[in-house]
Amino acid sequence: MNSPRVIGIDLGTSYSSVSAVINNKPVVIPSREGYNTIPSVVAYTKDGEILTGYKAQRYTLIDPENSVIGSKRLIGRRYRSKAVQDILKYFKYRIVEDRNGSCAVSIGGSVISLEQIAAIILTELKNIASKYLNEEISRAVVTVPAFYNESQRIAVRRAGELAGLRIERILNEPTAAAIAFGYGRNLKRRVFVYDFGGGTFDISVLSVENENFEVECTGGDTFLGGYDFDTRLVDLILEKFEKRYSVSLRNDIVAMQRIMEVAEIAKIELSSADETRIIVPAIASSNGISLSISEKIKRGEFEQRTEELIGRSMMICDSILSEANIPRDSLDDILLVGGQTRMPLIRKRVKDFFSKEPLYRINPSEAVAIGAAIVADGIYRETLINFTDVLPQSIGFSPDSKRYVRIVPKNSKLPVTKEIVMLNNIDNSEIIEVVIYQGDSPYLEANEILGILQIQGITKAPKGIIRVKVRIDIDRESILRFSAAELPSNKELTVLFEKCNTDIYCTETPLVDL
């Protein structure tokens, strides 16, 4: 019998964790191996076994092409989008386009959706919690990057369904961290959350007053994270090896995976030590001689290679604060979240930027999971945590496949409703079609296509005559709902919103009023 208990899940790019409130205290539930996280890895063995967590992580060392790592960066994304195409080269496994135009993986000749990959990880976390709590868990709060668009959030919900989980709430990671920081402390503070995780970078500004948490603005980059620091360290290791032996390992995917594994460990060591040594035995051979990696890496070398990545994060901080007209000196606390914030140079840059010592009173790797557990327990006990979020990216459309017109601006308080009036755009057609985008770039192609909005049942007339009121409702999780009525009669029209599997969908839809 399923338990009514609700668990919290931090579905991470590199590592994931599950949490719950036990004896009135939020705790991260240990994995089968005794760790507080599991690697967000799914591997398919040659004999048909599906592995996840630490077993899958070990398997990547011998078969990286059939091991899916970092899929959180791609879930819910259009394969042909520029953002996806720019990073495909960094993945060892084969990423393909599914029939809906979304990213998927090709394993052993089969196309597997990224929702299925996420579902395998979620199932493992659900099972870990069920065994630990001795209850059959079927309800969860799942966290996502604040900057996730609508398609990505829906994809996570689908993954939950596939895992047999009823997702009670999709919760933004910085909001979860702020709740972990402020809940039960009777604070009245303005908090800036700097969340640098394994695959994504998020920031949010929240007003915290007693048990009320209100997000003022948010922003980030879903293609900036600790993984990028790992790859910079890998490049440094390869350069040293190539200089020593005049042998390149860049086309050897097994060797590259072995180096990536030790690079992550070395990165962690460099957060507390001035130097470390990378050792990978028997990585290659030359003229019958076995070659090994044994290279000393100094913290300064690593910092020099990653300075630009940290600079990008600070530019995002500056941009978001400027757009929201929030002075730096109005911020009471700077909260560091995510494993990458253990890096001393990041802490220094954050301190210099805000002229304030950042806080990390909660384990940066566990803050999101702890916040998720608190929200989950509130749902279970029907004593809901009072928090409000904002729309992470604007919603808009293109009237001519060239321009981008914003309908609902980013950082709008959720839930939000917006109405626009459109004219019929084709002579004597009963249909209006509009492509809906999400994003804030002035360049149309840089924004994400969410789908095609089709309005059916309008009165036949020459184009530009019929006026249609379109209503957009965005719920507290940034999920869209559409409705439409013909004016002036207010006749209700049929509305379909279908995901779009093309790059550019041309329609001529004049905008009458905003």
How many angstroms from the chain centroid is the CA of residue 461?
45
Cα–Cα distance for residue pair 84/103, rounded to 1 Å: 8
Give backbone dihedrals phi and psi of 508, rounded to 5 degrees, phi first. -110, 100
Cα–Cα distance for residue pair 295/276, rounded to 1 Å: 8
Cα–Cα distance for residue pair 101/195, rounded to 1 Å: 30
DSSP states of 314-378 as a string? HHHHHHHHHHTT--GGG--EEEEESGGGGSHHHHHHHHHHHTS--B--S-TTTHHHHHHHHHHHH
Which region, left, alpha or beta, applies to residue 392 given φ > 0 means left and ψ of -120 to 50 means alpha? alpha
Is there a catalytic annotation at residue 274? Answer: no
231: nearest Cα among 314, 305, 148, 133? 305
Residues 279 and 293 sit within 8 Å (Cβ to Cβ): yes
97: nearest Cα among 80, 73, 72? 80
The long-range contacts involving 102-111, CB below 8 angstroms and separated by at least 24 positions, are 102/76, 102/77, 102/78, 102/151, 102/155, 102/499, 102/501, 103/74, 103/75, 103/77, 103/78, 103/79, 104/79, 105/68, 105/71, 107/44, 107/66, 107/68, 108/44, 108/66
Residues 64 and 253 sit within 8 Å (Cβ to Cβ): yes
Residue 274 corresponds to which amino acid?
D
Is there a catalytic annotation at residue 72? Answer: yes
Give backbone dihedrals phi and psi of 376, rounded to 5 degrees, phi first. -60, -45
Is there a catalytic annotation at residue 10? Answer: yes
Of residues 168, 195, 228, 477, which has the active-site annotation? 195
Of residues 72, 92, 267, 469, which has the active-site annotation? 72
Class of residue 291 by CB neighbours under 10 A (exposed 0-12, middle 13-18, buried 19+): middle
Of residues 124, 150, 168, 173, which has the active-site annotation? 173
Residue 464 corresponds to which amino acid?
G
Residues in the chain: 514
Cα–Cα distance for residue pair 99/97, rounded to 1 Å: 7
Residues 223 and 87 sit within 8 Å (Cβ to Cβ): yes
Cα–Cα distance for residue pair 130/363, rounded to 1 Å: 24
* Three-class secondary structure of residue 312 per DSSP: helix
**Residues known to be catalytic:** 10, 72, 173, 195
